[in-house]
Structure 1
Amino acid sequence: MQIQTIYLDKDVIVLNKPPGISVHPGSSVSGPTVVDFLLEKFPEVKAVGDDPKMRPGIVHRLDKDTSGVMVVSRNQKSFEKLKELFQKRLVEKLYWAIVCGRPKERRGVISLPIGRVIKNPLKRGVEENKRKIRGAREAVTEYKVLKFGKHYSLVELSPKTGRMHQLRVHLKAIGHPVVCDKIYGGKNVCCPDGADRQMLHARSLSFSFPEGRRLHFEADVPQDFTVALRRVF
C-alpha cells in the first residue's frame, strides 16, 4: 500500500490519505489501514500515543471515505504537543465538499450541538423534530461556497470544533448533505454519475509548535474528486 507523504521531519509525518482506507484497525475494519502503512514505513511510531497498540502516532482521524491531509507524530513529545493543540482548537483545518443543491447563503456559520442519535448510537446528529440525541456537545462549522452548479455546490468548510462526523452532520442539517453520503444523506442522497463515496476532502491543515515553527500543509484532491468536479460544474 502506498500513501503519499507530504512532509516529514523528526517530529511529524504528514500524509495525503486516500479514500477507502481506515485510519486504524477496529472490529468493523477490514483491509489495510493507515496504521499498517505507518508501522511498515516508520516503525518508530509503534511506541507513540495514548494507545500505541491500536493507534500508534495517531493524533486525529479522518473517516474511511474521507481523503486528505493528516498529521502523525513520530515521537511522544510531539504527540503531546499536537494533542494539546487539537484540544485547545489551535489547529486550523479546511475541507472541501461537493454537496447536494445550492445553499442560499454564500457564507455562513452552522452552530448546532451534536450528539449520539438515540435510536442509532453509531450515528451522530442534531436534535430535530422527531430525532432525539444524547450527550449533545457544542459544534461549530464555518462554510463558504466556492462554486455553484445547477444541482451541486463546492463548499469550503472550517470546523471550529472536532465532533465525530461533524461536517457531514452539519451539512445534512442545513439541507445540503455531502454527495453520495448514504449514512447522513440517506439512501436516496444525490450522487453524481461515477461517484461512489462521500466527496469530502481534508484540503489543508495549519498549526504552530510552541518553539515558534508555523507549519502549513495542503493535500491535492484525489482523482475521483477531480472527475466529480468536472462532471458537475
Structure 2
Amino acid sequence: MSVVTLTVSDDEADIRLDRWFRRHYPHLTQGALQKLCRTGQIRVDGGRVSTSTRLAPGQAVRVPPIPQASRPPPVTHRALDERQVREIRRMVIYSDDQVIVLNKPAGIAVQGGPGITHHIDGLLDGLKDQPDDPRPRLVHRIDRDTSGLLLLARTPGVAAKLAASFRSRDVRKVYWAVTVGRPTPASGVIDQPLTRLGAGAGAIMVVAGRRDKDAVHALSEYEVLDAAGRKLSWLALSPLTGRTHQLRVHCEALGTPILGDPKYGDDRAHVEGFPDQLHLHARMLDLPHPAGGRLVVSADLPAHMKDTFRQLGFAAPAAPAPQRT
C-alpha cells in the first residue's frame, strides 16, 4: 500500500470530503477518516482539510495507505420486477440528464425503516436508463402520508449541488393543504420553534418555548386560497426552514390542523364525510437547475384531495407543464 493522489471529477463538485471518501472507500469509518484529517495525512491541493470540506473539480486529494481487510460486503439492492419498474416510472413528471422529479403518492414512504419494506428508495433502480448508470439519489424527503413532489439527482455530484441549494434556501417550496377551520389573519408567517418529544416511531414534534435549549428555529408562510365558511380551508404553505413535520405542527399551532392528519390535531383533524387521509400535498418546486437557470415543476393533487376539493367547491388549476428557464 502507498500514498495515492486522486483528482476530483466534474461530477463530484461540491461534495463533502467524507461523502467523497464514502464513495471511493466505503469501508473507511467516519472516526478513522477524522483521525486521518486531524493528523494531516489526508490533504486537498496540499492543504489540511476537515471531513466537512467541500470539494471542487480538479482538486487533488492525497489518500494515505488505507487497510482493506475490514471492507464490508457492498450494498446490494434487490432486482425489481416489471410491476415495480412501472410503478416508479408512473411517478415521473420531469426528467433530464441531471434531475428527475416524481409526484409521490400518499402512503408510500420515501425510505425504509422498521416494518417498512416498500418505499421509494427501494425502487430507484427502476429509473436507470442503462444498467451501468449511477443509481438516482434522493435529494430531500417528504412524509409518508404527504403526496407530491420529490426531487432526485442522477449522480452524486448533482445531488451535492442540489443539497447545497436546499441548505442556502435557494429552493422555493409550496404545499397545498386542507385545514379544519380558517386561520386568522388570512395570510402570515408562523414563527414557532419546535422540539421533539419521545423517541422512535412514537416521537412527535411540538411547539417549544423560545428558551428551550433543545428548540430549533422553524418558520412557515401561509395563505388562505379559499374556504368553505369557517369549517374547512385551502391553504398554500411555504416552509422557510426544513424541520420534521414542520407544516403539520405549525397548522396545529394556528388552531387549524390539517384534515385527516393521523398524528397531529387529535379528533379535530377528522371530519365526517371527508377522506380520513392527510390532506397535505407538495405542489410546487422552484429551484436552481444544476446546469444553469431555474426549474419550476408542479404536481397535480392526489385522488383523495381532488374528492375533497370537489365536495367543497375549491377550483384547483391543473399543474402547468414543467418550465426550465
2:215 to 136, 140, 162: 136
Q: Which residue of 2 is the match for residue 125 of structure 1? A: 206
Relative distance call for 1:134 and 1:227 in structure 2 (3 A) is: farther
My pick for the range that moved more, 202-211 or 114-123, is 114-123
Please, which of 103, 118, 123 is the counterpart of residue 37 of structure 1?
A: 123
- Aligned letter for 1:126? V
> Who is 1:25 aligned against?
112
- In 2, Cα distance between the equivalents of 1:89 and 1:12? 18
The alpha carbon displacement at 1:45 in A equals: 4.6
More strand by share: 1
2:99 to 12, 35, 42: 12
- In 1, the alpha carbon distance for the partners of 2:97 and 2:166 equals 20
- The 1:86–1:147 alpha-carbon spacing in structure 2 relative to 1, beyond 3 Å, is same
| Bigger Rg, structure 1 or 2 | 2
Report the AA paired with residue 181 of structure 1: D
Moved runs in structure 1, 4+ residues, more than 3 A?
A: 43-46, 118-121
State whether residues 7 and 15 of structure 1, in contact with CA within 8 Å, keep that contact through their aligned partners in structure 2.
yes
Q: Which residue identity is paired with 1:106? A: A
- State how 1:199-210 maps to structure 2 within 5 Å: 199-209=279-289
Listed one character per residue, the Cα deviations across residues 89-111 of structure 1 (whole Å, up to 9, x for unaligned) are 11100000000011121111000
1:231 Cα offset (Å): 1.7
Mapping of 1:38-53 within 5 angstroms?
38-42=124-128, 44-46=133-135
Structure 1 pair 210/223, CA: closer, same or farther in 2 (3 Å)? closer
- Determine if contact 1:92/1:205 at 8 Å carries over to the other structure: yes
**3-state secondary structure, aligned to 2:277:** coil
Equivalenced residue count is 220
The sequence identity of aligned pairs, in percent, is: 37
Report matched runs for 1:70-219 at 5 Å.
Answer: 70-117=150-197, 122-127=203-208, 135-150=214-229, 151-209=231-289, 211-219=291-299
Give unpaired runs (5+ residues) of structure 1: 49-56
Note closer, same or farther for the CA distance 1:138–1:38 as it changes in structure 2 (3 Å cut): same
Name stretches of at least 5 consecutive residues in structure 2 with no aligned partner: 1-83, 314-325
TM-score relative to the length of structure 1 = 0.87
What's the counterpart of residue 145 of structure 2?
A: 65
Q: Partner residue of 1:221?
A: 301
1:133 Cα deviation after fit: 6.8
Pair 1:11–1:190, CA change in 2 (3 A): same
Distance (Å, rounded) in 1 between the aligned partners of 2:274 and 2:227: 20
Q: In the superposition, relative to structure 1, how do residues 39 and 214 fare at CA in structure 2: closer, same or farther (>3 Å)?
A: same
CA distance, structure 2, for counterparts of residue 88 and residue 72 of structure 1 = 18
TM-score (norm 2): 0.63
Deviations 1:164-210 (A, max 9, x none): 10000100011001011121111452335241211000000011136
Cα root mean square deviation, aligned: 2.1
User: One-letter code of the match for 1:139?
Assistant: A
The one-letter code of the counterpart of 2:166 is F
Deviations 1:23-73 (A, max 9, x none): 11111424x211222122326453x6xxxxxxxx11111111100011101
Aligned partners of 2:177 and 2:236 also within 8 Å: yes
Q: In the alignment, residue 140 of structure 1 is paired with which amino acid?
A: L
